[in-house]
Structures are given as structure tokens and as C-alpha cells.
Amino acid sequence: MASVSKAVDAIPGTYPFDGTLAQKGYALNKMCYSFNDAANRANFRRDEDAYCAKFGLNEEQRSAIRNRDMLALLAAGGNVYYLAKFAGIFGLGVQDIGAQQTGMSLAAFKAKLKAAGN
Amino acid sequence: MARIVGGICTSHIPAIGNAIARGLQDDPYWQPFFAGYPPVRDWLERVKPDVAVMVYNDHGLNFFLDKLPTFAVGAAPEYQNADEGWGLPTLAPYPGHPQLSWHVIESLVNDEFDITSCQEMFVDHAFTVPLALLWPGNRRPVKTVPVAVNTVQHPLPTPARCFKLGQALGRAIASYPEDLRVVVIGTGGLSHQLDGERAGFINKEFDLECLEKIVNDPQALTRYSIHDIVRLAGTQGVELIMWLVMRGALSARVNTLHRHYHIPVSNTAAGLLLLESAA
């Protein structure tokens, strides 16, 4: 049987989180999953590098974490549901990260969403 | 015998939980969304279901990538909510119905759906927000049976498979010997995308097609692949598969008692449907 996941056309700006990304991003996502716990969020804030090291993040992942760069975090294997917990540490919601990923201001991103209803 | 009194599908956006916690129901941004819910609440007050079967997707509260079931059914006396990491208040636990849960698990496995059973299960916003919308005031008037469907990591179960799971769920509920009124609730959707350069994608035309087809021609939606739905409804718009599980549990013919659609809530097109099996 042909590979199911490779037989489909890519969707621009869209990265379905599959086995390849899940393997690549395992350490990163495991760290972000730990942010469900307030004590872990506090530990991360106290010493980000030490916290990343504890979970074994690679340099690509550490750099993306340092830069709070969502597209780089996705490329490094991050899954948006776990990354949302990382963004939450800085009080950033899905509209903030939407604006960042699309290169828009928050106001412009919100206006785009509202316009989708017209 | 247990009987399915109806089905509801509703969006479960976390921001709704925050709006409820902050009492923003009449705020100009929120009012057009919350205005959709009173008719469904009135119906629930009239029909008084005993149990809500909650078909939802966990977003990394209970399950991690170390062990990620495609379909999981809760079988606990109660379900705890917990901190998801981004500030939604933690709510009081929800009562379960372990006897019905085990009956559903046995029936589904016998029907060739290989279910992961969970005697402990944290329930996230996809479970709590719809219940808070449908039974406001932090009440717990129904017992619950959680049915979790993987939407975190591909491969996801196909729309066709999810519809069949719903049909098997319907048979499971109908064969439960005790007299129970059961409402099946599918949560999530409609179109939205949180990640990538296409973040903020909403497809009103496709959503309206789904709201129509899920009622009268759900088979048409089962012919889409997951990839089709990601393309048409966004990466998180795949939550439509929860609606298909709900729809599968109902009879072939249903009546629409209420329908509501509003863009946007946060990044999402919010949909609501109340369906009753036709005689």
C-alpha cells in the first residue's frame, strides 16, 4: 500500500502534526506539556536554559524558545496545543500567536477574523 | 432501556470559558455568541437528560504523545478538571456514570472498536466549556461519559470511521438495560486554524455546508479525508469529526430544533446545533 501521508498535496502555511514532526519535537513538546503545572512554569521562568537542558532540547529548539518564535517552534517539531502552554507563560493567547505567525498586528489579525464573517 | 433524547454539537473555544468566568455574556463582542444558547438550555430543562455522553478532543491535559489513544472512553466515578497552563480557572469535578461507561466500552469493543478505557481522566476545556454553556452556574445536573478522540497527532481517525464510531455508540446506549435519558454532545469546530502562516483561516461557506449536511446527509461529510477537512476547515477545523460521532449516534432521520452560527469567537467560527431523532 502506498504511503497515505505522503500521497496528499501540501496546504500552504499548514503543517499537520504527523509522526515525523512528533518524533522531531518530542523533547520540546514534553517540556511544554510540563507547563500545565504552575510550579514548572515558575521553574522555567527562573532559569530558561537550565529548564530546556533538563528536557534535552536541541539548539534549534532552544533558539526558537529564546526568540518566542512560533513558526520556528513549529518547524522544530512543536505542536500548537503544547506551544499554547508555552505562550501562556507570557500571557500570550491564540490571537497573539496568530498575529505573530501571519506577520500582522494584533488589530489587523482580529479584523481579518471578523471580516471572515461577512 | 436507555434512550438517546437528542444530540448537540457546539464549539468549545477556551476564550468562552474565560468570558463565562468574567461574566462577559452581555459584552458587545460576546452577546451575539451567547445569544445562541438559551433555546438549547430550555430544551435541556424540558427533556432533563440523566447523562451527557461528551465526545471531545483532549488538547494536552490528560494525554501526552507518550501514549496517545485514537479513541478513549472514561470509566470513572468523577472527572477532574485541571490547569491547562494558560489561565482558565479550574472547575469543580464532574460526576461520571461508570456503569454506563463500562457498558459502552464492552459494546464498542464487541462492535470492533478497540477502545482505551480510562479509570482516571482529566477533562479539559473541550469537555468543560460546552457543559458550562449548556448548564450555566457551575451546576452538575447530569452524569457524564467522556469519549475522547485524537486530534493532536496525525494520523487522525477518518471522518467515516468517526461516523461509524457514533453509530456503534448509539447501539451501545440503546442496549443499556436501565431507563436513562441520554444526550450525546459533540464538541469543537467549526473552521479555525491556530498554527502556521495560515493561522486565522475561517471558511464560512464550508461551515454552512457542514451545518446543512450533518443534519440531512452526514454520509456526504464522511467522504472527505482528514486532509480535505484540514484544507477546507483549517488544522483545528478537523474537530468536525466530533460532530460526526455525535451524528452517527442519532437515528438516520433527525429534526433540527435549533441552529446558531457566529464568526468569530477568538480565532474560530462558532457553531451550535440541537438535533432530535425523528420518529
CATH number at residue A48: 1.10.700.10
Q: Is B192 a catalytic residue?
A: yes
Determine how β-strand B51-56 pairs with β-strand B181-187.
parallel
Phi then psi for residue B32, to 5 deg, are -65, -25
- Grid coordinates of B208: 454552512
Task: Please give the Cα distance from B34 to B90 (Å, whole number).
Answer: 21
Residue A52 lies in a domain: yes
Residue A2 lies in a domain: no
> Cα distance from B193 to chain A (closest Cα, Å)?
9
Average pLDDT (B49-64) is 98
- Grid coordinates of B104: 459502552
Q: What is the pLDDT of residue A1?
A: 40
**Bond before B264 cis per omega within 30 degrees:** yes
Q: Which domains does chain B have, with CATH numbers?
A: 3-277 (3.40.830.10)
- Grid coordinates of B63: 494525554
Query: Whole-number mean pLDDT of chain B?
Result: 97
Q: B39-48: per-residue pLDDT in tens?
A: 999 999 999 9
| Active-site pick, B12, B97, B103, B192 | B192
How many domains are there within chain A?
A: 1
Are the C-beta atoms of residues B115 and B72 closer than 8 Å to each other?
yes
Residue A80 lies in a domain: yes
Are the C-beta atoms of residues B7 and B246 closer than 8 Å to each other?
yes
- Grid coordinates of A91: 500571557
Q: Is B125 a catalytic residue?
A: yes
Is residue B212 pLDDT above 80, yes or no?
Answer: yes
Average pLDDT (B198-214) is 98
pLDDT < 70 regions, chain A:
1-8
Residue A81 lies in a domain: yes
Task: Please give the Cα distance from B137 to B272 (Å, whole number).
Answer: 20
Percent of chain B exceeding pLDDT 90 equals: 97
> Cα distance from B23 to chain A (closest Cα, Å)?
19
| Active-site pick, B97, B103, B125, B262 | B125
Average pLDDT (B208-217) is 97
Q: B248-274: per-residue pLDDT in tens?
A: 999 999 999 999 999 999 999 999 999
Is residue B279 pLDDT above 80, yes or no?
Answer: no
Grouping H, G, I as helix, E, B as strand and the rest as coil, residue B35 is coil
Q: What is the pLDDT of residue A92?
A: 93
Q: What angle do CA B191, A76, A49 make, to 5 degrees?
A: 120
**Which candidate from B153, B202, B225 shows the least CB-CB separation from A17?**
B153
ipTM of predicted assembly, 2 dp: 0.96
Residue A97 lies in a domain: no
Q: Which range of residues forms the domain containing residue A57?
A: 19-91
Q: What is the pLDDT of residue B87?
A: 85
pTM assigned to the model? 0.97
Grouping H, G, I as helix, E, B as strand and the rest as coil, residue A109 is helix
- Burial degree of B28 (CB within 10 A; 0-12, 13-18, 19+): exposed
CB pairs below 8 Å between A and B: how many?
135
Query: Whole-number mean pLDDT of chain A?
Result: 94
- Grid coordinates of B141: 445536573
Residue A5 lies in a domain: no
A13: part of which helix (H) or strand (E)? Answer: none
Determine how β-strand B3-10 pairs with β-strand B254-265.
unpaired
Is residue B100 pLDDT above 70, yes or no?
Answer: yes
Is some CB atom of chain A closer than 8 A to the CB atom of B174? Answer: no
- A74: nearest Cα among B156, B235, B195: B195
